[in-house]
Chain A
Amino acid sequence: MRYVAQRILFSILSLCVLLFITFLLSHVVSGDPAIVAAGPNAGADKIAAVRQEMGLDRPLLVQFWIYCSNIMHGDLGTSWFTRQPIASDIIRELPPSLELVFVAMLINLAISLPLGLLTARYAGSRFDDIVRLLVMAGAGLPIFWLAIILQQIVAGQWRLLPTAGRLGFQNRDFTGATGFTLFDSLMQGRFDVFADALAHLVLPAFALTLLFTAVGVRITRTSMIGEFRKDYVVLARAKGASEGRIMVRHVFANGATPALTVFGMQFGWMLGATVLVEEIFGRPGIGRYAVKAVTQSDIHAVVAVVFVVGLVFLFSNLIVDIALYLLSPRKHAGA
């Protein structure tokens, strides 16, 4: 339990750093927030009034305190391009992005874990060399470029998958309770909508994940490769266990922890990388929201996205680490 308490304390510390960074971005780096908040056509007296209203004439430390307490109350400010509270904008835009990242993560795990395990088992073989080369190529692919190329070829030329959007025209009126289309359609028994939503997700998810998968294969390989040399593998072989059983039941179960920690971190990184994909595939989501906010120079909306992505990142790491701890208490006993 001591580990869990320490881990939570670390997350709280991280949250403080995150708050500090976003405060720095919105209040210090961006110049005068009052000018931004007052809008492009405000005069000097309006700006002065806004400055006083926002507490910007007070010391930075006090401002930081006001900023934190606003966020704790769920107030992320008002976006001046949607004219809505940013918090409600983000609550609307987050589910489609999380859905995309979730599917991308599934693809990522489905490729990384088996390939990583097999390349660790057959390290130094021709197969290992080929995968290593593919991995290095994958790690050099610009996500946004891959997205455009996939969209043009797979969706445009071959017409295998839909080009853009979240749902097809026939399902444009579909709404659900949670905003997660995949989940909502299953709940309502609309399997046609589910298939449609999934078809729209495949290309963006694949484009989003490839770079992360390249890293994932590598990480899995390194965390597994040492396990194959351990005594218990020799023993299992001596006892006549099949190679498949050794790989899955023994090596994977023991060596997965460091790899899974990285996959937990990748979840947050992918959510950040949606800014490169969603716009191209015309999907709603916080990535596209952030890009729009950037082009409108709506700094508070951008910083709010930074904050929320950071928050999701902290949470996913915390959950993965605690889950891994609970599953194998022995490993973390000394941590």
Chain B
Amino acid sequence: MIKRWWSFPKTNVERTAIVLGCLILLLALVGAFLVPFDPMKIDFRAKLQAPSLVHWLGTDGSGRDVLSRLLYGAQLTLASTFAVIIVVVTIGCTIGIASAFIGGAVDNMLMRLADIWLGFPPLILALGFASALGASLEAAIWALIFSWWPNYARLSRMVTSDILSQKFIASADALGVPTHRKVLHYVIPNAMDVMLIQIALDISAVMLAISGLSFIGVGAQIPAPEWGAMIADGRSYVSNGWWIVLAPGLAIFITAVSFNVIGDMLRRELDPTSRRR
């Protein structure tokens, strides 16, 4: 199994992306312990300092250290991204798998609903939902869950009905294997690969959406070092403090691209038929 994983990256770009991806995850886990300064501490005497040996990435308009905020924010941004993905995968797959097992009219109705839901622009749906809840990072997370679930319902329903039409399911049926065993031991292990590809590709999409919502003002609120909120905060200083906007934007960009490359690689390695468009 491990050996199989090692053979995945084929180019230097992919190797770099994996290293960066792991590094970013590591920083999100331990970054909060590495910060050189208090990320929330306002010090107007130190405001708008360009990158230097003391403040590697400079300070923002309220004199907060940008590097410290970036490291702290890694946790906030990535934790919310993963929160969205974990909940969405759980809810979406439950609906999708159930739909495939039940079949008939219920299946048809659920999938039509998912189709329609999936069509609407997710950003604007999430915007509506988050502002209905009252702007906060939690609201943005719930909002994205609300607009993202059909992706996984659709995908898991497709994969599950693929699996259910296989011969080993027919023999399991003949042996009288109960449904919950079929789900746990037949469907989920076989659906894992396809789900993993989608998850890797969605990490960047969800992260861009969360930071976008925070940028507009319906997500994390300004003193919080969420990357999108940091860009919104830095906007008013952009002409005399370009580093305040540049650093979090680059952080989002590098993280998103790394996970895109990883997702693309997983698709090539795990899904040779490339079922998805």
A interface vs B, CB < 8 Å? 10, 13-14, 17-18, 21-22, 25-26, 29-30, 132-133, 136-137, 139-145, 148-149, 152, 156, 211, 219, 222-223, 258, 265, 268-269, 271-273, 275-276, 279-280, 290-291, 293-295, 297, 299, 302-303, 305-306, 309-310, 313-314, 317
Number of interface residues of B (CB under 8 A): 48
Contact A275-B127, Cβ < 8 Å, known A21-B120, A148-B245: yes
Contact A273-B121, Cβ < 8 Å, known A152-B239, A294-B131: yes
CA distance A295 to B242 in the complex (A): 25
A291 closest partner in B (C-beta): B216
| Additional A-B contact list (19), CB under 8 Å, known A273-B123, A313-B121 | A17-B117, A29-B133, A30-B132, A140-B204, A142-B249, A144-B212, A144-B215, A148-B245, A152-B238, A265-B119, A268-B119, A271-B121, A275-B127, A290-B127, A291-B216, A291-B217, A293-B131, A294-B217, A313-B120
CA distance A183 to B131 in the complex (A): 34
CA distance A276 to B208 in the complex (A): 11
Contact A269 B116 (CB under 8 A): no
Contact A275 B217 (CB under 8 A): no
CA distance A273 to B125 in the complex (A): 11
B interface vs A, CB < 8 Å? 13, 112-113, 116-117, 119-125, 127-129, 131-135, 204, 208, 211-212, 215-218, 228, 231, 235, 238-239, 242, 245-246, 248-249, 252-257, 260-261, 264, 277
**CB-CB < 8 A to A273: which residues of B?**
121, 123
Contact A142-B208, Cβ < 8 Å, known A25-B132, A156-B239, A306-B125: yes
Contact A29 B238 (CB under 8 A): no
Contact A313-B119, Cβ < 8 Å, known A145-B231, A152-B242: yes
Contact A142-B253, Cβ < 8 Å, known A13-B112, A26-B132, A276-B212: yes
Residue among B13, B204, B238, B254 making CB contact with A139, cutoff 8 Å: B204
**CB-CB < 8 A to A222: which residues of B?**
277
**CB-CB < 8 A to B231: which residues of A?**
142, 144-145, 148
Contact A148 B125 (CB under 8 A): no
**CB-CB < 8 A to B208: which residues of A?**
140, 142-143, 211
Contact A133 B133 (CB under 8 A): no
